[in-house]
Amino acid sequence: MTVVLYNTLSRRKEPLETLEPGKVNIYCCGVTVYDHCHLGHARCYVVWDTVRRYLQWRGYGVYYVQNFTDIDDKILNRARTENTSMQTVADRYTAAYFEDMARLNILEADAYTYATKTLDGIQRLIGELEHKGYAYPADGDVYYAVRKFAGYGKLSGRRLEDLQAGASGRVNPSETLKHDPFDFALWKAAKPGEPSWSSPWGPGRPGWHIECSAMIREQLADTIDIHMGGSDLIFPHHENEIAQSEAATGKPLARYWMHNGMVNVGGEKMSKSLGNFTTIRQLFETNPGLSPMALRLFLLQGQYRKPVDFTAVALAAAQNSWHTLREGLEFGPQFGPNLGWQPQDLAAEAAVLDRETASVQTFQVAMDDDFNTAGGLAVLFDLAKDLRRAGNLITHTGGADTDSETLKNQWQTLVTLAQVLGLQAGPKHQPESPPGLSVAAIEELLDQRQQARAAKDFAASDRIRDQLQAGGIALIDKPGGVTEWYRQS
RNA sequence: GGCGACAUAGCCAAGUGGUAAGGCAGAGGUCUGCAAAACCUCCAUCCCCCGGUUCGAAUCCGGGUGUCGCCUCCA
């Protein structure tokens, strides 16, 4: 069995065959650091983080590189309005990026690259393209001559003639420096007051697309295994990357191109220009009870290539779903010791999980098929529900009807597979001393309630029950007049 | 206008030829003074519409309809 993934380049699912057996080189287009990340970014990086985790679990040595675009007009504009420097703005939102991603349990890349730290590579690449006749300088700018590259359009499936027809109203004829409306800037001459770097073409800064081509070459190789990013980057960004890199090296830039679908709001793409975006931090500020894992789960419940509609209802459903999974994940720490599991066993044995079980196989079959996370999640829910049931039976009746060994295996499987999807219950925040009522006070109130019930003064007994409930104490009335209680978390 | 994607229950969603996973919500039952919790059970004769291929189609083919994305910065 092998991993199959959808390749935008061929528009088909293809078996993953890496350049070097057992190793996968990945480059993922990162963010332009001029604002906080929104839910579209959340989806993108949750999806690729999950792909990365899965490939690792499947035994691949994964090397994952991601960039920060820290030279850009939008950053510059922001710096201008704030009367500060481009670097200050970039640093701030780079830091914010890391905070947001950590919250969503997204693993850090093996290497991060920055436009500001890639200028040598960028200039070398531009020089090479100029030398080979793919680029031409024009008044301090340097442009890529799109028509020189025969394969232009192969990723996005469009031809220049089509582009011309459709874009006729949108192409700006005032850009006279370009030989052709579809040529794009590799280097932009400095304007007064803007940060700039010296270059053979005069002071200036790099265009957007060139940084990725230069970074991939510098950090990875001429040809990498997988290049990923948002589907809105297919054209022109990734198309231009291909044109730049392949013209320079004569080799394919990436064997596989993967693209995630957009996050929609009310059926429309969430985007800056539409102004309909919610930042990750806004979401959690306005929904204090929302778990970051619920957002992650929400994003993994759909196929990564399809658009997903973000609604309050869907989010609430995901929160409830996460609750179910979390109860299963917490079964181990909660009940394991009572069932005779040794804490050290839990971690050690999970690491060498038996992969031949039906659960793991079902999970793997789903995930092998272009990362079918929704299919994989079904396995997690089956396990979590079984464990939740067992836990409830222990709490409510004193014992489960499944043997300890089976429960342990189920729990370890659940934890392991959840980890592959980046879903973690996280440490239980147990307060030092439980707040509210003391055990003695609770026992006293229960005693009073029992007396009231015996006297059939149900108004009084219900009042006590409400009082306890308000203090976070839930009651379980059992047959025979026995009442048990537990603190609700 | 060009290119592309998608359409499955109240909602989300998997499933690409063999007779509809999973989640959320909901319903009934047991228990209870009533609840809560828990446990048990149920919840798409059918996959946008119309044709076709096939012993058999949500799945393949043809034709519609609808929604969305890209073609400008975008994850």
DSSP string, A98-111: HHHHHHTTPPPPSE
Is residue A78 in some structural domain?
Answer: yes
pLDDT tens readout for residues A437-448: 788 888 899 989
Report pLDDT for A265: 93
Report pLDDT for A170: 47
Confirm whether any atom of chain B, the nucleic acid strand, is less than 7 Å from CB of A154. Answer: no
| Residues A66 and A95 placed together within one structural domain of the fold | yes
Can you tell me the distance from the alpha carbon of A54 to that of A41, in angstroms, rounded to the nearest whole number? 20
* A146 CA, B33 C1': Å apart: 82
Indicate the Cα dihedral angle A265, A269, A270, A271, nearest 10°.
-150
Structural domain boundaries enclosing A339: 280-420
Q: Which of A193-207, A317-331, A437-451 has the lowest mean pLDDT?
A: A437-451
Task: Return the nearest residue to B1, CA–C1'.
Answer: A166
Report pLDDT for A168: 45
* Residue pair A48/A55 in contact by the 8 Å Cβ criterion: no
| Residues A43 and A178 placed together within one structural domain of the fold | yes
* Residue pair A228/A28 in contact by the 8 Å Cβ criterion: yes
Confirm whether any atom of chain B, the nucleic acid strand, is less than 7 Å from CB of A448. Answer: no
Does residue A16 sit in helix, strand or coil?
Answer: coil
Strand partners, A7: A12
- Which nucleotides in chain B lie closer than 7 A to a protein CB? 1-6, 11-16, 21-25, 31-40, 67-75
Total residue length of chain A: 489
Can you tell me the distance from the alpha carbon of A381 to that of A328, in angstroms, rounded to the nearest whole number? 8
Choosing from A260, A295, A317, the residue where a domain stops is: A260
Q: Where are the alpha helices (DSSP H) in A35-104?
A: 39-57, 73-81, 86-103
Nucleotide closest to A228 measured between CA and C1': B75
| Residues A237 and A333 placed together within one structural domain of the fold | no
| Residues A69 and A156 placed together within one structural domain of the fold | yes
Is residue A425 in some structural domain?
Answer: no
Is residue A174 in some structural domain?
Answer: yes
**Where does A93-177 show beta strands of DSSP type E?**
111-114, 135-138, 141-144
Confirm whether any atom of chain B, the nucleic acid strand, is less than 7 Å from CB of A163. Answer: yes
Choosing from A366, A390, A420, the residue where a domain stops is: A420
* A357 CA, B23 C1': Å apart: 23
Max CA-CA distance within chain A? 98
* Residue pair A339/A346 in contact by the 8 Å Cβ criterion: no
| Residues A407 and A443 placed together within one structural domain of the fold | no
Q: Which residues of A61-78 are buried (b: 16+ CB within 10 A; e: fewer)?
A: ebbbbbbbbbbbeebbeb
* A307 CA, B50 C1': Å apart: 28
- Report residue A31: phi and psi, to 5°: -105, 160
Is residue A274 in some structural domain?
Answer: no
Domain count, chain A: 3
Can you tell me the distance from the alpha carbon of A448 to that of A372, in angstroms, rounded to the nearest whole number? 55
* A379 CA, B45 C1': Å apart: 27
Confirm whether any atom of chain B, the nucleic acid strand, is less than 7 Å from CB of A372. Answer: yes
* A124 CA, B67 C1': Å apart: 46
The residue whose two tokens read 């009572």 is A338
Taking the alpha carbons at both ends of chain A, their separation in whole angstroms is 43
Q: Which of A213-222, A224-233, A470-479 has the lowest mean pLDDT?
A: A470-479
Secondary element (H or E) of residue A487: strand A482-487
Q: In what order do the strands lie in the sheet with A23-32?
A: A111-114, A61-69, A23-32, A224-230, A254-260
What's at A469, amino acid-wise?
Q
Is residue A272 in some structural domain?
Answer: no
pLDDT tens readout for residues A91-106: 999 999 999 999 999 9
The residue whose two tokens read 């890349």 is A109
pLDDT tens readout for residues A52-86: 999 999 999 999 999 999 999 999 999 999 999 99
| Residues A53 and A176 placed together within one structural domain of the fold | yes
| Residues A55 and A145 placed together within one structural domain of the fold | yes
| Residues A309 and A367 placed together within one structural domain of the fold | yes
* A427 CA, B64 C1': Å apart: 55
Can you tell me the distance from the alpha carbon of A419 to that of A402, in angstroms, rounded to the nearest whole number? 24
Q: What is the DSSP letter of A251?
A: S
Flag residues 118-137 of A with CB < 7 Å from strand B: none
Residue A208 pLDDT exceeds 70:
yes
Q: Within a 10 A sphere around the Cβ of A360, how many other Cβ atoms?
A: 16
| Residues A397 and A454 placed together within one structural domain of the fold | no
Q: What tokens does A159 get?
A: 């031809």
Confirm whether any atom of chain B, the nucleic acid strand, is less than 7 Å from CB of A170. Answer: yes
Nucleotide closest to A388 measured between CA and C1': B38
Percent helix / strand / coil, chain A, rounded to 5? 50, 15, 35
Flag residues 64-93 of A with CB < 7 Å from strand B: 69, 74
Q: Could you give the angle at the alpha carbon of A242 between the alpha carbons of A56 and A8, nearest 5°? A: 55
| Residues A199 and A121 placed together within one structural domain of the fold | yes
For residue A156, with 0-12 CB atoms within 10 Å meaning exposed, 13-18 middle and 19 or more buried, which class applies? Answer: middle
Q: Within a 10 A sphere around the Cβ of A83, how many other Cβ atoms?
A: 6
DSSP string, A304-344: TTS-EE--HHHHHHHHHHHHHHHHHHTHHHHHTGGGT--HH
**Mean pLDDT of all residues in A429-444:** 69
* A190 CA, B71 C1': Å apart: 29
Q: Which of A36-50, A260-274, A323-337, A422-436 has the lowest mean pLDDT?
A: A422-436
Is residue A267 in some structural domain?
Answer: no
Is residue A434 in some structural domain?
Answer: no
For residue A139, with 0-12 CB atoms within 10 Å meaning exposed, 13-18 middle and 19 or more buried, which class applies? Answer: exposed
Q: What tokens does A311 get?
A: 């609604």
Is residue A145 in some structural domain?
Answer: yes
Q: What tokens does A135 get?
A: 């680029």
Confirm whether any atom of chain B, the nucleic acid strand, is less than 7 Å from CB of A41. Answer: yes
ipTM: 0.95
Can you tell me the distance from the alpha carbon of A152 to that of A235, in angstroms, rounded to the nearest whole number? 11
Flag residues 297-356 of A with CB < 7 Å from strand B: 301-303, 305-309, 313-314, 316-317, 320-321, 323-324
Can you tell me the distance from the alpha carbon of A31 to that of A66, in angstroms, rounded to the nearest whole number? 9
Residue A481 pLDDT exceeds 90:
no
Residue A166 pLDDT exceeds 60:
no
Can you tell me the distance from the alpha carbon of A267 to that of A276, in angstroms, rounded to the nearest whole number? 11
pLDDT tens readout for residues A18-40: 999 999 999 999 999 999 999 99
Strand partners, A28: A66, A228
Nucleotide closest to A481 measured between CA and C1': B32
pLDDT tens readout for residues A168-188: 444 454 557 899 889 999 999
* A480 CA, B31 C1': Å apart: 11
| Residues A286 and A414 placed together within one structural domain of the fold | yes
Does residue A254 sit in helix, strand or coil?
Answer: strand
| Residues A106 and A241 placed together within one structural domain of the fold | yes
Confidence of residue A431 (pLDDT cuts 50, 70, 90): very low
* Residue pair A281/A287 in contact by the 8 Å Cβ criterion: no
Flag residues 203-242 of A with CB < 7 Å from strand B: 208, 229-237
* A458 CA, B8 C1': Å apart: 50
Residue A285 CA to its chain's centroid (Å): 19
Q: What tokens does A212 get?
A: 């990725």
Report the CATH number at residue A23: 3.40.50.620
Report the mean per-residue pLDDT for chain A. Answer: 91
Report pLDDT for A350: 61
